[in-house]
Amino acid sequence: MKKYLFIALAALGFAACAEKLDDNNAPHGGEMEESYIAINLLSADVETRILGAEDSYEMGTPAERAVKSAYFFFFDENGDPFNVTGSPVTAPGEVQNGKNHLILSISNASTSGMPNVSDIKDDILVLKTYKGVYPSKIVAVLNWVPENKPYSLTALHEALEVIGDDSNGYVMSNSVYMDGANKIIDAVPLTAANIKTTESEALAAPINIYVERTAAKVVLTAGGKIADTENIFDTQKNSTPVGLVGGSSDLDVYVKLNGWELYNDYSTSSLLKNIENWDVATLGLTWNDIPYYRCYWAKSQAGNHSDSFAWSYTDADKATKGFQTNYGFAVANAGDNYATRSTYTYCGENTNQVDGSTDPRTKVILKGQLMQKKGDDYEPLELARWYGTEYAGDENLRIAVANSLKYTLYSSENGQTFSSITPADIQCVEGIEAAGAKAYEVSFQLSTAGAAKKWYQYNSTSGYVVFGDNAITGDNTVKANEYLATVEPALLYTDGQTYYHVDIKHLGSAGKTAEYGVVRNHVYQIDIKSIKGYGSPVYTSLDYIVDVPEYPIEDEGSYVAAKINILSWKVVKQGVDIVQ
């Protein structure tokens, strides 16, 4: 009997121990102890590199490296929350719960601001746990404020958080990579050698945590320099001058760049990078870099933003619509808020790929204006393209359209005297999609003057009859407009306004998955080298630009020449020659 009683008691003890571990830290009661971990933070940038001519890494600005807050999360071997505050966990989210994170007091701030990553050395974290029961993993998250609740390692991977800014600091977290055994390393292992009973012992065996920003940085220059109001590109190099119907017969066309934005740029990234064991040949990139605690590809949040691209959105609108404001090239009235942000901006990770019907990739969109040279100055050049012919603006385009309809549409005030349609009877409107026009094209409708008239067509049998009807009755402007909508649409660059897009290249080889993409902790340095072609026209104003720029089939020889450099900040450089 004593033997069976002993076995039962032993089983009870084992169950209690299991409950202790499952609950993250023991039932109420038991001996608590304080233990110490010494922390060194390192940036997965140049601190992990011996720089040479072949390396493309940079430190980043003081604001990009600043530490405003530091939270350290602890987990068991399975990645579940491990309570390090000594308070028992009862239900997630309660204020009095034990939490699995500790806050590091940032005490070494100087007059120049908060310390940067490399200043966090030999700082001590104090854990309050049950004696002999310790966490197995640790993750650092900087410049982010968690909710007052336990977080699992999976929850940190799934959290989509803002990337930060100069004022609040740029969010950073453990650098994620794959070890030699193809195991994802997303947290730093903790052993008995790291967890000590005194501060002095901990300082003798600190742990190193490598962190990376969740943001990517895009830098734009033109001709290798910060762009300014003299940023003019000759679109006709190595080609003959342009002749415009109704205008010059010998014209050199230039493009002046007036600004730029990102499209499909996320304002958030996952808090921890999400990776898998990618095939190097498919990716076109040796993506894992074990000696430097990092990798160069990631899985990003799915989907793309579907809102129309509008330069006139407020900053608040832009944040909700997934893109941010960048005013480059000395845009008028940009405001003091953007005085130092003319050539760069930040965005979240986006490695989504073209799926055949949509293109969700992050792009640079350039605002441009077609120009003509007059003496030593440049003037805006409004032009139109219709049936392969180029015209000197809206009026000359309407003359051509009216001439093509002179034997189709007639107006009459009395039903006795008939006149062919005139350019004044026609106006250009945004492309009518229902009639097959593209968003970047213009369609034709009756002007206010034209809509006040009654329209006829000539029939060899019946003579002049009301357009769209066999009887001379009723208001027929609707029918006339329906017919005008079927006329071949045109391209109209109002005041010369146009735009171009540049796909942001990553480090993958041509034609492979990682050829394009935006990955955290990389700098994409894009230099516009040349522009050939007119780009995608803007009819009404720069207040509206279609979601993804489309380039006219007639102009498919156009291109943007750019050079892109990527950095880490891993730098990716891209030089772009624009032909659009």
For residues 567, 568, 570, 576, the Cα torsion angle rounded to the nearest 10 degrees is -20
SS3 for 58-81 is CCCCHHHHECCCEEEEEECCCCCE
> Which pLDDT does position 97 carry in this prediction?
53
Please tell me the total number of residues recorded for the chain in this structure. 580
How many whole angstroms separate alpha carbon 54 and alpha carbon 316?
A: 41
Are 109 and 115 within 8 A, CB to CB? yes
Q: Could you tell me how many helices (H) and strands (E) the chain has, helices first? A: 9, 36
How many whole angstroms separate alpha carbon 273 and alpha carbon 271?
A: 7
> Which pLDDT does position 365 carry in this prediction?
81
> Which pLDDT does position 19 carry in this prediction?
27
Are 368 and 531 within 8 A, CB to CB? yes
Q: What is the DSSP string of 308-374?
A: PB-TT--HHHHHHHT------S--TT--GGGTT-SSEEEE--B-----SS-----EEEEEEEEEEEE
Q: Any idea what DSSP says for residue 461?
A: T
DSSP reduced 3-state for 203: helix
How many whole angstroms separate alpha carbon 326 and alpha carbon 265?
A: 12
Task: Spell 174-183 as b/e; 16+ CB within 10 A means b.
Answer: bbbbbeeeee
Pick the CATH number of 24-214 from 2.60.40.2580, 2.60.200.30, 3.20.10.10, 3.40.50.300: 2.60.40.2580
> Which pLDDT does position 543 carry in this prediction?
45
> Which pLDDT does position 266 carry in this prediction?
82
Residue whose structure tokens are 């945590």: 209
Are 347 and 232 within 8 A, CB to CB? no
Tens digits of residue pLDDT in 73-100: 999 999 999 988 877 654 443 334 567 8
> Which pLDDT does position 359 carry in this prediction?
78
Beta-bridge partners for 367: 259, 499
- 461's CB contacts (< 8 A; 6+ apart) are none
Q: What is the DSSP string of 408-440?
A: T-EEESSSSS-EE--GGGEEEEE--GGGT--TT
> Which pLDDT does position 570 carry in this prediction?
60
- Residue range(s) occupied by CATH 2.60.40.2580 in the chain: 24-214
Residue whose structure tokens are 């953007």: 338
How many whole angstroms separate alpha carbon 252 and alpha carbon 564?
A: 28
List per-block mean pLDDT (blocks of 10 residues) for the chain, which spans 580 residues.
37 31 43 88 62 54 86 94 75 51 69 67 86 91 88 92 86 94 95 89 91 90 57 60 78 80 82 96 94 91 51 46 40 37 78 81 84 83 90 94 94 90 96 85 95 88 78 69 94 88 91 95 87 80 46 48 58 69
Q: Any idea what DSSP says for residue 390?
A: E
Indicate the class that CATH gives domain 217-266+301-379+494-579.
mainly beta
Tens digits of residue pLDDT in 406-436: 999 999 988 889 999 999 999 999 888 888 8
Are 109 and 176 within 8 A, CB to CB? no
> Which class for 286: exposed (0-12), middle (13-18), buried (19 or more C-beta within 10 A)?
exposed
> Which pLDDT does position 86 carry in this prediction?
78
Are 483 and 457 within 8 A, CB to CB? no
